[in-house]
Structure 1
């Protein structure tokens, strides 16, 4: 019990002291409560609706992590509700309020609910149709029935309106830090993998268990890559229609072209490392000698320098980008020198690079490709935003 209380207190402490997931969650809860309360008051006191819950429900449903997505959610939700209400009204007018009419309404609403244009709100077509059918049966006159159906649509519009208004005016979400967080997390996974590679190659510990661990770490990096892409998309989406981006404190963070190029380079590096770990696994399975210890040691130094690059990327911060990009270029230069040592050691010890049945040639090729991607990463952070935007197609989130 005490441990749970301590964790809860720590959660609130993080929400109050620094930006992050905790603060974002707390703000979303507070804003949703404010929007729902305002929508309920208008529905109950101003409209005097018999079912005012539609308004706060709509307000909470349209509250999203970005204003752009909130707008789309509201539009799709309102469209789904209107479609459901109109569908129910049309069927009942033709058939009358009966069980057969309900079957037809359900069949058509659930079919229309498969329409991809409504996105996540597709299920609301059937929900609105069922509520509208119930409201229609409870009304005692034709005018009352029309009023009930119109009131459902009005409550949804009121709720969506308050949801959008609160999201726009009360701490509108700006998720540019989400792009940094995704890149930092991905860099941490790469750093762990490269560190383990460097340690294993330096000590000659390339047994089957360690090679299998490298493959698992590579898989984890692939999963982090998907999260980094999602964070980048959310960050870019948060800028659309957001008034906070006009504030001086947020203007340096309005350009994501650099981060898109970094993500593209890191994505390709993840794939290269996956190929590298497979080659090392095959090395362990096919080699019966470790007479190439000098080449392994050189390769370990190379992966160690790449780890230093990823360690710096784990601290990526838009406010310190110039300082970090300069240091990143220095580390990239050190990695290029280490790569030259790898190729020199391969020539000195006459490694069978041209033998397709041996992994050495693949290892050298993968090392060169990895170096290229890390050099591109350094160049991406060093270049100007305008140069980046010109170098990339519009909307390209991976740098491809």
Structure 2
């Protein structure tokens, strides 16, 4: 969560949650610290949401509990995801839908939205203009030149902002330690096809419930190999339903079935897509590994962890892998196959980006201390 202030008015960019770590037992979510704004809720003109991942929208319901009428500004998919989440909290938000190229005045802040490529459709960066200067917040982004949805990070738009003069550039730091460029998302399709081709029984894929691009690749592979797909878990069912209804997820007719019908299908015609790629104890995959789920792992099943490890989750993930392997599953993960590419710009992309934007000042955001320091070094 980032708060901008001008003339006594506040604009918030993103409001997410973090995963609890092992030394935080009993903690479900880590929220932003609202202390500095709690007595200024009436000064908030809006919350700009750059994209629909939990670490950027997950804290919104908890802030709107304190003041439900704070406007939310975001793209079509981002707003649809947060509206569904808020419905569970019985909050009906005020929303403003925007898209790349749009300019909107939100209190004293003039906001211009720029397309960026990430691991979820409809991600946006935002340029914020006030009489004090211009700040640009990238949100999460990378510069995939062969994106699955054809939506590139709009480098010409960033170049124009650079020519105008960016006083402060706030940049995603997650991959600042990683040299070079992030491989294209399309690169993993061949690996997934190979895994699907070799699998003898059920395939179980664990992914973030908002990773629309990865789920699209799973659906494409399942369709090619004649398997039916069932989504497991409330958030996965909800988010994929939203993505499908809005046209961001292409689902061939008859491909997706209800999980209750899977007992009627042969094991080699089944794909299950669930949450739990980070070892979350209450997620579907962890419960399968612990034999605490209606879906029982058996000898010959193939499990794909279609994500990278978030720092701090390593022990939990390996515990799940061990549990799955114990019951006879073959576990495919980033450590032994290329089943994931990052959604965050690496060092080469960041340097390229800085040469385009030429900001007067750089503020690394979104990362641990080592990521932030590495990004700062790149910008010197």
Normalized against structure 2, the TM-score is what?
0.25
User: Which of the pair has more CA radius of gyration?
Assistant: 1
Normalized against structure 1, the TM-score is what?
0.24
Structure 1 or 2: more helix by fraction: 1
